[in-house]
Amino acid sequence: MHTETTLGSVAVQSTSEKSLAQYLLTAERVVMGVILVACGISGFFNLLMHGTSADSVAQASGSLLKAGFMFPLLKGAETLLQLWVAKARV
């Protein structure tokens, strides 16, 4: 007696596509992390010039800048949180 079993076709992704997706995701995370950490450090050490304009957002930003401690505090917290998130995802 001879029995044959036919299995349905299963789509299998090739390893090169999966690896490419992993590399792209890793590259995206690294680029975004570098951008966010660089902006945080730049704001913490006040490396960028802050322009003055008459709109309400610029007035609020100017008030925070005049306070003297808010921008370093905000940017320092931003930098630490970004480093913490990056470490948690690894």
If one counts every other C-beta atom within 10 angstroms of the C-beta of residue 15, the result is 8
Q: Is residue 8 part of a domain?
A: no
pLDDT at 13: 54
CA distance 3 to 14: 31
Q: Is residue 53 part of a domain?
A: yes
Q: Is residue 7 part of a domain?
A: no
Q: Based on the structure, what is the number of domains in the chain? A: 1
pLDDT at 64: 78
pLDDT at 61: 77
Q: Is residue 49 part of a domain?
A: yes
The pTM for the full model equals 0.41
Q: Is residue 72 part of a domain?
A: yes
Residue numbers of the domain that contains 60 = 15-89
Q: Is residue 5 part of a domain?
A: no
pLDDT at 74: 84
Q: Is residue 4 part of a domain?
A: no
Q: What is the full per-residue pLDDT of the chain (90 aa) written as tens digits?
A: 556 666 666 555 555 566 887 888 888 889 888 888 888 888 778 777 665 555 777 787 788 788 888 878 888 888 888 888 888 776
Q: Is residue 10 part of a domain?
A: no
| Residues contacting residue 52 through CB under 8 Å, at least 6 positions apart | 58, 62
CA distances to 13, 71, 77, 81, 87 from 84, rounded to whole Å, are 33, 20, 10, 5, 5
